[in-house]
Amino acid sequence: MTLISKATRSFLLACLVALAVGGVSCFWFLHKIMDNEASEQLLHEKEQVEEYVNEIGVLPKRWFSISDSLWAVRTHPPLPMVMGDTVLFSTVQKEYLAYRQLSFGIATLNGYYQVNIRKALYETQGLKQALLLAFSGLSLVLVGLLFFINYRLSRSLWKPFYRTLDTLKTFQLAQKEPLKFRRTSITEFQTLQSNLTKLTNQLRQDYQSLKTFTENASHELQTPLAVIASNLDLLIQAPNLTEEQLERIGNLIETVGNLSKMNHSLLLLTKIENGQFTDSVELDLSSLLSEKIDLWEPLIHDKGLALHQQIAPNVRLNIHKLLVDVLLNNLLGNALKHNQPNGSIRVELTQNTLILSNTGPQPTLPVDQLWERFSKGSSRTDSVGLGLALVKQIADTYHFPISYHFQDGWHRVQLSFNIS
Amino acid sequence: MKILIIEDEESLAHPLREYLASEGHVCEWVSTYQAAEEKIGVYDYDCVLVDIMLPGGSGLDLVDLLKKTQSQAGIIIISAKNALDDKILGLELGADDYLTKPFHLSELNARIKSIQRRRQFAGNREIKFGDIRMVPDSKEVWVNDSEIVLTRKEYDLLMYLVANANRVLSKGAISEHLYGDEIDQANSFDFLYSHMKNLRKKLSEHGCPDYIQTVYGVGYKLAA
């Protein structure tokens, strides 16, 4: 729910509650007042009758001067006063109408009488209905107007906020320029923007220095590695080395080899992150993939693995040649390395997707860690765990969605390209 | 050959000198840009190994200078930077080859041999080892006057072994020569075993003695 709709919803709810309570109590007060008024009028008329009787001694002849609906009935004993409501059928309006009736006993010179005074209530009911209608109408217009004003006001008030959010959404760690927010006159949003600017600048700086560090460290490592490697190369040429000594040196050479491969991959990762591979050209992925498979096929057969391939012809893609090499080599190398005896590898290329599946033991890593650097599914010392991180980085660079599934003994990596 | 090594890291220059000297080359070493400039101005070399990042200047400028003054010298750039731009620029300036640190001495040796071969225009273009005869121009391999058909990788492998004959070659050095940094070590070793097996089979089928020795735990050695 957006901020504005949340605020509007609360506003609307409050309005409705206030209107309902106000309307009901208003109506109730109105009803009470009119009700009292009717009773008081009847009592007033009663007083007039009593006054007349006190002065003259008999009931007045002309009722109409006192009330429009008054009649007297002779009774024997004196009667108590009764006030009550009743309905009578009107022959004119063809419906039942509400009346209030006051009956009281009175002693005249001619004996006891019961005097009845009746007053129509339906007139006040009509009035009440009219008032209610007017009130509701007015309320609705008022609420509508308030709602509209509030909505518009909120919209314009929060506009800089939403703009700030939109700008923030575009933020990328690797971007070279600081975030540029649109100026706003509201102090709170200014504070927000300046803090966001500070925060994102710090983030960019940290990220940049981290990258620079990785790059420098990798570069600086090259020369010492070269020193170790060349000395080891010399060392194995020495005559009279025992088998044990040779094996040890061999181990060292292998480890240095792994180390320099790792270093190379790290450098490559940093370079891809830095966007140093921008010069993509349109390549024929189908033929590239076939070439790669030709390269790997002898090894695949050597390991007793079956290879199934389904490659759609002429799949063209805008991508850097080196990166696509790294991508395919790592994917194929992985499919081979993490396979099982008598297993198989399946390569499928369509216009939109590249799917590489291979049989193999269940992965020991959670899927979401699979793409991370140095996360290894096995304790093999000959794998450094940068291969899939490279694949992911390359896929991310070109905004190719990549996914991994393990099902029924098959590892399946799917890469989709948005050809546009 | 007379080789000049321009490298500021003494601990790297030292094994380089030793290795190249054992290959029968005459080596000189300088560690700064100025010293290199002086040497180049005074002496003629057959081959120059030059580092890009040097105290006092860029190795690329030395390449430029070399090309202007001594067009005869073969030039190999050795750099810690595996930057494509540097590589392209270096080769455009006229360098013959580009090696990224860390590299194997046997790789450097193979590259120097290849430069040497290219410089030996006319005359003997063949390389011989025991009964094996290789013709680099046509990429042919002959054993006792019968031609062996090798795949490209097998040919490269044999060439590398012959270029570094009588030396112990680590598996890492060979597989890196064949596959570069593209393929990780585990897979490239597997490739190497497979190629080595096929190469040995083809050679022995043509009656070639088994020159390829396996050095346990390390790699291989081609020895007659």
The domain spanning residue B150 has which CATH number? 1.10.10.10
Q: What percent of chain B has pLDDT over 90?
A: 46
Are residues B114 and B6 both part of a single domain?
yes
Cβ atoms within 10 Å, residue A379: 7
B120 or A412, which is more confident: A412
A95-108 β-sheet, strand order: A70-74, A111-120, A95-108, A82-90
Are A118 and A69 within 8 A, CB to CB? yes
Q: What is the mean pLDDT of residues B206-222?
A: 90
**Where a domain ends, among A85, A119, A144?**
A144
Instruction: Say whether B105 and A230 touch across the interface (CB within 8 A).
Output: yes
Measuring CA to CA, how many Å separate A52 from each of A46, A62, A214?
10, 11, 115
Domain presence at residue A91 = yes
Report residue A287's pLDDT band, with 50, 70 and 90 as the boundaries: very high
Asked if residue A228 is part of any domain, the answer here is yes
Chain B interface includes A298 (CB < 8 A): yes
Cα–Cα distances in angstroms (integers) from residue B12 to residues A228, B7, B34, B73, in the given order: 8, 8, 19, 22
Of A219, A237, A384, the CB nearest to B81: A219
For A109-155, write each residue's pLDDT tens digit.
888 888 888 888 777 778 888 888 888 888 889 888 988 888 888 88
Q: What is the pLDDT of residues A372-391, one digit of tens each?
A: 877 766 656 556 678 888 89
For residues B112 and B136, membership in a common domain is answered with no
Please give the average per-residue pLDDT across A191-220, as a whole number: 88
Both A204 and A315 in one domain: the answer is no
Note whether B173 contacts A325, CB cutoff 8 Å. Answer: no
Among B82, B171, B185, the residue with its CB nearest the CB of A267 is B82
Shared domain check, B112 and B7? yes
3-state secondary structure of A241: coil
| A257/B218 CB distance under 8 A | no
What CATH number is given to the structural domain containing B24? 3.40.50.2300
* A133 and A53 belong to one structural domain: yes
Residues of chain A found within 8 Å of residue B80, distances taken between Cβ atoms: 219-220, 222-223, 226
pLDDT digits (tens, 9 = 90+) for B66-118: 988 866 889 999 988 766 677 888 888 889 999 988 889 999 999 998 888 87
Q: Give a yes or no: residue A160 inside a domain.
A: no
- What pLDDT, in 10s, does the model give residues A346-363? 999 999 899 999 998 888
Q: Which residues on B lie below 8 Å from A226 (Cβ)?
A: 9, 12, 80, 101-103
How many domains does the structure of chain B reveal?
2
Residue where a domain stops, chosen among A113, A144, A175: A144
Same domain, B215 and B112: no
Q: What is the pLDDT of residue B21?
A: 93
Size of chain A in residues: 420
Q: pLDDT value at position A66? A: 67
Closest CA to B12 of A223, A252, A249: A223
Among the partner residues A236, A298, A322, nearest to B170 by beta-carbon distance: A236
User: Are A229 and A352 found together in one domain?
Assistant: no
Q: Which of B184, B198, B213 to mutate to test the interface with A (most CBs of A within 10 A)?
A: B184
From A83, A112, A144, the end of a domain falls on: A144
In-domain check, residue A410: yes
Instruction: List A residues 374-393 in contact with B (Cβ-Cβ < 8 A).
Output: 380, 382-384, 387
* C-alpha to C-alpha distance for A162 and A168, rounded to whole angstroms: 10
Residues of B in contact with A225 (CB under 8 A): 101-102
Residue B109: both structure tokens together: 């040796």
Q: What is residue A381's predicted lDDT score, i.e. its pLDDT?
A: 57
In B, which residues are within 8 Å of A230 by CB distance?
Answer: 12, 15-16, 19, 102-105
Whether the per-residue pLDDT at A210 is higher than 90: the answer is no
Q: Give yes or no: residues B100 and B202 share one domain.
A: no
**A180 lies in some domain:** no
Domain that holds residue B65: 2-119
Distances (CA, A) of A165 to A192, A194, A199, A354: 10, 13, 14, 36
Of the candidates A84, A77, A87, the one whose C-alpha atom is nearest the C-alpha of residue A114 is: A77
Distance CA A79, CA A82 (A): 9
Is residue A195 over pLDDT 90?
A: yes
Residue among A219, A258, A329 whose CB faces B182 most closely: A329
| Shared domain check, A259 and A289 | no
Q: Does A301 touch chain B (CB under 8 A)?
A: no
Task: Mutate one of B99, B185, B193 to test the A interface: name it (highest A CB count within 10 A).
Answer: B185
User: What is residue B25's predicted lDDT score, i.e. its pLDDT?
Assistant: 92
Q: Which of B14, B81, B170 to substitute to test the interface with A, most A CBs within 10 Å?
A: B170
The span from the CA of A404 to the CA of A392, in Å, is: 11
Of B119, B147, B174, the domain-final residue: B119
Contact B80 A222 (CB under 8 A): yes
Q: Does residue B145 sit in the same domain as residue B213?
A: yes
Q: At what angle do helices A187-235 and B105-119 cross, to 10 degrees?
A: 70
The answer on pLDDT for B135 being more than 60 is: yes
Tell me which residue in A219, A227, A249 faces B9 most closely, judged by beta carbons.
A227
Contact list in B for residue A275 (CB cut-off 8 A) is none
Please state, rounded to an integer, the average pLDDT across all residues of chain B. Answer: 88
Same domain for B112 and B142: no
Count chain A–chain B contacts defined by CB atoms under 8 A: 129
Instruction: Mutation target for B interface from A216, A225, A237, A251: give the one with most B CBs within 10 A.
Output: A237
Pairing of strands B219-222, B168-170: antiparallel
B114 & B134 share domain: no
Least confident of A59-63, A262-266, B107-111, B122-126: B122-126
What six digits make up the tokens of A189? 């949003």
> At residue A303, does pLDDT exceed 70?
yes
Separation between Cα atoms, residue B103 and residue B109, nearest integer Å: 11
Is residue B97 located within the same domain as residue B182?
Answer: no
Judge whether A312 lies within some domain.
Answer: yes
Provide the pLDDT confidence category of residue B157 given band limits of 50, 70 and 90: very high
Domain containing A214 — which CATH number? 1.10.287
Q: Which of A205-214, A217-226, B161-170 has the highest mean pLDDT?
A: B161-170
Residue B219 has pLDDT above 70, yes or no: yes
pTM across the whole model: 0.67
- The more confident residue out of A278 and B153 is B153
Q: Is the pLDDT of residue A92 over 90?
A: no
The reply to whether A195 touches chain B by the CB within 8 Å rule is: no
pLDDT computed for residue A377 by the predictor? 63
Please provide residue B155's backbone torsions phi and psi, each rounded to the nearest 5 degrees: -65, -45
C-alpha separations of A411 from A4, A360, A404 in Å: 47, 7, 7
Average pLDDT, chain A: 85
Residues 335-364 of A with CB under 8 A from B: 336-337
Sign of CA dihedral B141, B147, B151, B157: negative
Does residue A218 share a domain with residue A243?
yes
Residue where one domain finishes, among candidates B119, B139, B166: B119
Per-residue confidence at A339, pLDDT binned at 50, 70, 90? confident
Number of domains making up chain A: 3
What does each C-alpha distance from A234 to A31, A88, A352, A409 come to in angstroms? 112, 126, 51, 46
Choose one of B84, B119, B154: the last residue of a domain.
Answer: B119
B10-33 pLDDT, tens digit per residue, is: 999 999 999 999 989 999 999 999
What are B's interface residues with A at a Cβ cutoff of 8 A?
9, 11-12, 15-16, 18-19, 22, 80-82, 84, 100-106, 167-168, 170-173, 176, 181-187, 189-191, 194, 215-219
Mean per-residue pLDDT, A293-314: 88
Among B5, B100, B183, the strongest candidate for a mutation testing the A interface, having the largest count of A CBs within 10 A, is B183
Range of the domain at A252: 187-273
Q: Which value does ipTM take for this structure?
A: 0.85
Residue bearing tokens 């590589």 = B87
CA-CA distances (angstroms) from residue A379 to A264, A373, A382?
21, 15, 9
**A290 shares a domain with A383:** yes
What is the predicted pLDDT for the residue at B147?
92
Q: Are residues A105 and A11 in the same domain?
A: yes
**Domain shared by B42 and B145, yes or no:** no
pLDDT at B124: 63
Q: Note whether B62 and B134 are same-domain residues.
A: no
Q: Are residues A294 and A356 in the same domain?
A: yes
Q: Write the pLDDT tens digit of every residue in A229-282.
A: 999 999 998 888 898 999 999 999 989 988 888 888 888 888 888 777 777 888
Judged by average pLDDT, the poorest of A52-66, A182-196, A279-293, B24-38 is A52-66
Asked if B71 and B132 sit in the same domain, the reply is: no
Classify strands B53-54 and A353-359 as parallel, antiparallel or unpaired. Answer: unpaired
- Integer Cα distance of B127 and B133 in angstroms: 6
Is the pLDDT confidence value at A370 over 70?
yes
**CA neighbours within 13 Å on the CB side: how many for A390?**
29
Backbone angles phi, psi at A417, to 5 degrees: -115, 135
Task: Give pLDDT, residue A350.
Answer: 92
**Closest to B60 in 3D by CA, of B29, B84, B94:** B94
Whether A299 and A372 share a structural domain: yes
